[in-house]
């Protein structure tokens, strides 16, 4: 079963938390110096978008990696956040900063409702309902024209104003805003993973009957994890709307949800830096390979199949373990003294 492919131990926390923080700091430094290395504006823009998508993937990582529950709805929850920001800006009631908490709460609320329906009947139904919700969201944004602008979507023309700095509009400033958001989201999830809540989620994943007999409310814990992943997706959606300056129905259907799943699986559901690396691979690959978009999508589809069949714990962890193994072969003495 799935458990075998994931981390064997339920209780490991402290050391892995430190490792997660270290990998995040390293990632922040590496990515933080990128703009000073003379990268072009297209590259910087794509990195920014990759950061925002990776926030949604980080949230899904909590749900899938710890609670063992997959969802396709997070693409739509991302859209919930983006539309809250866009409608709030159009009606002149929300700035980006006020939209962030409103969108996070709205998306978490939406996730709670979907989850409450889906978790009444467990297992596969959850997946099916999340898929249905993702498509229903797309259909609704097309059809509720007065509210959502229909197929045309909504332009988001309000500037991003940072208190004390003023308007942020250069690509570099937006890049750093997104980077800060990614690191913040990663820290929240890393902390949740190492908290008693995260440990209980793993207990629920590994053995639900045992968890219930220990007095854990398994359904409510999964629902909470789903709501948190929704809140992160919603918050990321706000930043996404302000970055692209436009939201439309085709950006956030089931295909967006599948994209988040793919990003998560490239990076690995249980690693702190993984989703960010996964998103960068996902978005930079077409730029580097110069393939036409349709061929790229076919390769992504086949790539997702290959990952699931060959290395379901993710590509980045696979790569890391290969490097580790090569390292150990070179220095057998260390291994023999420690073991």
Partner 1 sequence: METLLQQVVNGLSIASVFGLLAVGITLVFGLTGIVNFAHGEFLVQGGLVATSAIALGLPFPIACLVAFIVEGAIGWCVERAVFRPLAAQPVLGFIASLGLIIAMQHIALKIWGSNQIAIDAPLKQVLAIGDVRISAMRIAVTVITIIVMTVLLVLLSRSRWGRALRAIAIDRETAAAMGVPVQAYVSATFVIGSALAGLGGALLLSLFPMSPFSGGVYTINGFAVAIVGGLGSVSGALIAAVILGMVEAIASGYVSPVWSSAYAFGAMIIVLLLRPSGLKGGGIA
Q: In this structure, what token pair is assigned to residue 64? A: 């899938």
* 206 neighbors 2 (Cβ within 8 angstroms): no
Interface residue with partner 1, options 236, 238, 261, 273 (CB under 8 A)? 261
**Residue whose CB is less far from partner 1, 142 or 320:** 142
Sign of CA dihedral 73, 78, 83, 85: positive
By rule CB under 8 A, what string of x and - marks binding of each residue 308-337 to partner 1?
Answer: xx--x-------------------------
Question: Does residue 212 bind partner 1 (CB under 8 A)?
Answer: no
Question: Does residue 147 bind partner 1 (CB under 8 A)?
Answer: no
**Residue whose CB is less far from partner 1, 102 or 307:** 307
Q: Is beta strand 160-162 parallel, antiparallel or unpaired with respect to 154-155?
A: unpaired
Sign of CA dihedral 45, 46, 52, 55: negative
Q: Is beta strand 160-162 parallel, antiparallel or unpaired with respect to 166-168?
A: antiparallel
Question: Does residue 201 bind partner 1 (CB under 8 A)?
Answer: no
Give the integer Cα–Cα distance in Å for 273 and 28: 9
**Residue whose CB is less far from partner 1, 231 or 262:** 262
Question: Does residue 265 bind partner 1 (CB under 8 A)?
Answer: yes
Stretch that binds partner 1, among 43-51, 75-83, 87-95, 259-267 (CB under 8 A): 259-267
CB of 284: closest distance to partner 1 in angstroms? Answer: 18
Total of residues contacting partner 1 (CB under 8 A): 43
Give the integer Cα–Cα distance in Å for 130 and 44: 32
Question: Does residue 219 bind partner 1 (CB under 8 A)?
Answer: no
Sign of CA dihedral 97, 164, 58, 301: positive
CB of 171: closest distance to partner 1 in angstroms? Answer: 29
CB of 83: closest distance to partner 1 in angstroms? Answer: 17
**Residue 308 three-state SS:** helix
Sequence-ordered list of residues with C-beta below 8 angstroms from that of 69, at least 6 positions apart, any chain: 63, 126, 222, 225, 226
Interface residue with partner 1, options 28, 44, 46, 132 (CB under 8 A)? 132
Question: Does residue 111 bind partner 1 (CB under 8 A)?
Answer: no
Measured in residues, the chain has a length of 339
CB of 138: closest distance to partner 1 in angstroms? Answer: 8
Tell me how far CA of residue 146 lies from CA of 77, 93, 154, in angstroms: 20, 17, 11
Which residue ranges make up the site for partner 1 (CB under 8 A)?
1-2, 5, 68, 70, 72, 117-118, 120-121, 124-125, 127-129, 131-132, 135-136, 139-140, 142-143, 253-255, 258, 261-262, 265, 294-295, 297-298, 300-305, 308-309, 312
């Amino acid at each position: 079963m799935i458990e075998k492919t994931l981390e064997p131990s339920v209780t490991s926390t402290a050391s892995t938390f430190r490792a997660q923080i270290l990998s995040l700091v390293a990632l922040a430094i590496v990515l933080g110096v990128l703009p000073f290395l003379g990268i072009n504006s297209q590259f910087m823009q794509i990195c920014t978008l990759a950061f925002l998508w990776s926030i949604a993937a980080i949230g899904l990582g909590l749900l899938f990696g710890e609670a063992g529950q997959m969802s396709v709805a997070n693409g739509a929850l991302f859209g919930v956040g983006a539309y809250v920001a866009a409608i709030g800006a159009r009606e002149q009631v929300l700035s980006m900063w006020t939209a962030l908490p409103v969108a996070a709460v709205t998306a978490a609320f939406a996730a709670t409702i979907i989850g409450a329906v889906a978790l009444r009947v467990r297992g596969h139904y959850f997946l099916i309902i999340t898929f249905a919700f993702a498509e229903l969201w797309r259909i609704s944004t097309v059809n509720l024209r007065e509210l959502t602008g229909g197929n045309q979507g909504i332009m988001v023309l309000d500037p991003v104003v940072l208190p004390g700095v003023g308007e942020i509009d250069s690509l570099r400033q937006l890049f750093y805003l997104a980077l800060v958001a990614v690191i913040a989201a990663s820290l929240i999830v890393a902390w949740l993973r190492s908290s008693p809540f995260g440990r209980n989620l793993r207990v629920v994943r590994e053995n639900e009957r045992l968890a219930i007999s220990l007095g854990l409310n398994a359904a409510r814990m999964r629902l909470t994890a789903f709501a948190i992943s929704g809140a992160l997706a919603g918050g990321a959606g706000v930043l996404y709307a302000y970055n692209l300056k436009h939201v439309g129905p085709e950006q956030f259907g089931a295909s967006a949800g599948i994209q988040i799943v793919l990003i998560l699986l490239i990076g690995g559901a249980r690693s702190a830096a993984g989703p960010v690396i996964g998103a960068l691979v996902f978005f930079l690959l077409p730029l580097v390979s110069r393939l036409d978009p349709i061929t790229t999508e076919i390769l992504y589809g086949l790539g997702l199949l290959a990952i699931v069949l060959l290395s379901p714990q993710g590509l980045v962890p696979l790569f890391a373990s290969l490097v580790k193994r090569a390292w150990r072969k070179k220095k057998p003495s260390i291994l023999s003294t420690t073991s």
